[in-house]
A = this chain, B = another copy of it.
């Protein structure tokens, strides 16, 4: 893990790093307690492009820090400063064509867009977990929080250090991932925007139904994709405190 920059704020330190050419960001608390006690880590999922997502990720990291955690994220394959993925670009164009034409998006387009991304990203996030948890100021249990939901589901299934997950309903989800969701067992909080322009509400409800966890909660709110109410940030922090402490 190569540290690129370190920026001190009042409440947190933001460390930009890279790991095998994958850029990432780590946010750690500056409280006196954090100097002697390691902080449980929250992995912040996002739809790609760390620069564009930075203001929202920083706000979410701040909420984690206030709840007593550290937070970290990685750039996704094919976005931000990473090399484009030609196959994903073709699949995205096919998807947008179907949406513009008002047609259902074919399953194989969703598969071509999402599955290779998940296949490539999961080992990267797990390697980042290895590197981050080797630091003396970080510890498990670890939580996943955020989109894309297919990556969150796969991580929750195969990464035993993840003890709880906050998932954002809101992406096209391959059928294979919906099947995989049945194998998730960790406590879940799933956020759904009821009037999301870009997503199919019934698909999101079907995925919630498929998730295998005995403790799962759905929070649905009125409004579009980016309209998640501020109080859901507090609810997510309380959910994480319940399960990481």
Q: Does A3 contact B (CB under 8 A)?
A: no
A193-240 CB contacts (< 8 Å) to partner B: 194, 205, 208-209, 213-222, 229, 231, 234-235, 238
A221-B231 contact in complex given A194-B209, A205-B205, C-beta closer than 8 Å: no
Q: Helix, strand, loop or mixed for chain A's interface?
A: mixed
Complex contact A215–B222 (CB within 8 A):
yes
Q: Does A242 contact B (CB under 8 A)?
A: yes
Complex contact B220–A208 (CB within 8 A):
yes
Total copies of the chain? 2
Q: Residues of A with Cβ closer than 8 Å to B?
A: 194, 205, 208-209, 213-222, 229, 231, 234-235, 238, 242
List 16 contacting pairs A-B, 8 Å CB cutoff, sorted by A: A194-B208, A194-B209, A205-B205, A214-B222, A215-B229, A216-B222, A217-B219, A217-B220, A217-B222, A217-B229, A218-B218, A218-B220, A218-B221, A219-B219, A231-B238, A234-B238
Known pairs A205-B205, A214-B222; list 4 more (Cβ under 8 Å). Answer: A194-B216, A208-B220, A217-B221, A218-B218
